[in-house]
A and B are shown apart, each in its own frame.
Chain A
Amino acid sequence: MAKLVAAVGTPHGPMLPQQVAEAPGKLRSEYLMKQVREHLERAEADLLFVVASDHFTNFFYNNLPQFCVGAIEEAEGPAETYCVMPRRQVKGQPDVAKGFLHYGLRSNYDLAVAEELHLDHSVMVPLHFLVHSTDTPVVPLYVNGLAPPLPTARRCFGLGQTLRKFIEEWPGNQRVALLASGSISLEVGGPRVGTTDKKWVDTVTDLLERGDYRGLARRATAERMAAAGNVSGELLCWITVTGALGETRPSFVEREEGSGFVAWNLE
């Protein structure tokens, strides 16, 4: 059976790769990404689920899934004009992705599926910093954290629980890691740009540190997340991942502005 060996969570600022390229060694975010990468590398995972929110790259209001698993052979990214970083081919793992699609349907999670994706910065920026090898296959799992109405935190947490069960029942020997991509408090393009809801960032990171993932899912109402910024619904990606963690507390937690950098060792 496959095994869940690690999880990590980081933000995915689309400007970060360029900022780091222009001033290497200067930014705390670069240092924290490196710390998280070292945790992930120690786990020697050979399959990575990336839980992220599409930023109107694959999905738009004409067709906008709340949950979508990417059953890609491979995909390229980032596609956006505003994310300057080396474009990269990412190898998928469609048998596992489709396995999870079926498992979700049987478990009351009616996932959408995408067999072709243009991976956006929410997937590519964390991969750029955390996964240097292009050999590790990736299964993107998109959670709508950006275009309200959003799924509830309770449903996202349950999806993570379902993902854990799926991994443990999957008849392979993969060592699986999960990556939660997103900010905790962030406003993009709205009137509150430049403000951070520090109280919410502290609340969320404290709950993560204590391993109180159910408490986090209870507190992360649509209203509370929206009050923390117009893309703070990306926290739902984190909540999805915490649903897979059982009682395991993180081994690494750092805050940086409206974001967290976190790593869990599950062995």
Chain B
Amino acid sequence: MSVYEMNKLLYRTERDEDFRRRIQADPGQVLLEVSLSDEERQALTTGDLHKMFHMGVHPFLLNHLPRHGLFGVTRENYLPRIRGEQSPVS
């Protein structure tokens, strides 16, 4: 488990402008540079908030995903997704 790395990626997305621009422009490339398990990578790239929440990612940091338009998470689908009421796009 590398929940720390997931939290860190989200933290940097908000706090580090260069990192934010890079992950917005080429998320696939940035994900190659961080050490996530396949399961974590899958949860992130599909915007599976329910899974990330239950993995222990801090919800305050998950909130940065719709804020910065990442991995298909929007204000509209955020709550249904984190509640597990709407399946993420795979």
Which residues of A line the B interface, CB within 8 A? 55-57, 60-62, 79-82, 146-147, 187-191, 193-194, 230-231
Contact = CB atoms under 8 A, between A and B. Distances in A.
Given A60-B8, A61-B7, A61-B8, A190 B14 contact: no
Contacts of B82: 189-191
A194 B82 CA distance: 13
A193 B60 contact: no
A193 B14 CA distance: 20
A105 B69 CA distance: 45
Q: Give chain B's interface secondary structure class.
A: helix
Interface of B: 4, 7-8, 11, 14-15, 53, 58-63, 67-68, 79, 82-83
19 contacts: A60-B7, A60-B8, A60-B11, A61-B8, A79-B15, A81-B14, A82-B14, A147-B58, A188-B59, A188-B63, A189-B58, A189-B59, A189-B60, A189-B62, A189-B63, A189-B82, A191-B83, A194-B79, A231-B60
Given A61-B7, A81-B67, A191-B53, A56 B61 contact: yes
B59 to A, nearest CB: 4
Contacts of A193: 79
A191 B59 CA distance: 9
Contacts of B62: 189
Contact of B11 (A56, A190, A194): A56
A32 B45 CA distance: 43
Contact of B60 (A62, A191, A194, A230): A230
Nearest to A190: B59
A187 B61 CA distance: 13
A57 B60 contact: no
A97 to B, nearest CB: 24
B59 A230 contact: yes
Contacts of A189: 58-63, 82
A231 B59 CA distance: 10
A210 B4 CA distance: 42
Contacts of A57: 15
A190 B53 contact: yes
Contacts of B4: 61
A168 B83 CA distance: 50
Nearest to B10: A56
B7 to A, nearest CB: 6
B60 A188 contact: yes
A160 to B, nearest CB: 25
A225 to B, nearest CB: 15
